Amino acid sequence: VEKLQQEIEQVFRDAESIWDSQKYGNLKTLWDEQDPYPFYLAEEQRDWKIGWSALKTYWEPIPGKRMIEAIRMRFYDIKIKELSQDLVFVGGWVRHDMKIRGPMKAWGGDARMSAVLRKKETSWKFVAYVESHRTPLTYMMDLYKKQPKIPIVRPIVERFLTRLYEKNVHPEFASFHKSIMDEEKTEYKVSFSKKLSF
């Protein structure tokens, strides 16, 4: 298990080196290019990138040119689960710090990360990779804990985000919620009367 852990972590160290080089197209060398349907989902994407054309376009929208001045990726707390002799599931975290071209300042953040890697002749290769943020409300609360000099902003943002969540409830949820609560009341009454009978 220790050897496998080292092998998998090395793949992520190699990914860090490629990100550091700012030559994002080279990330394809860490993937199983014989797999016809690689899956990729970065935290900022609206939907999955599936297939080689989608991945290559994401890594290099305009080959040879970068929209980002610099990006630094670091993977940590990497945990593995062996699915078979040639497949491994990976869970962990990724830290990004980046500066987009233009007047915007640099920013950074942490997200959960998971991946599936396949054993090839000489090394492990990605077949799927996903970044998943926490819910924005709790994520923003943690960010504000790191910024004690701006406490007044925190409750404003919390109320704003909470309101957005409330406005985003599916129209069918109200009737679903009512049916659950009606059932709970019935069960509670039955349970309560049974307890009284003792």
pTM assigned to the model: 0.77
Q: Is the pLDDT of residue 49 over 60?
A: yes
The string of pLDDT tens digits covering residues 11-33 is 999 999 999 999 999 999 999 99
The string of pLDDT tens digits covering residues 30-43 is 999 999 999 999 98
The counts of H helices and E strands in the chain are 5, 6
CA-based angle 66:118:94, to the nearest 5? Answer: 45
Domains and CATH numbers, the chain: 2-133 (3.10.450.50), 141-197 (no CATH)
The string of pLDDT tens digits covering residues 143-163 is 767 776 666 666 777 777 777
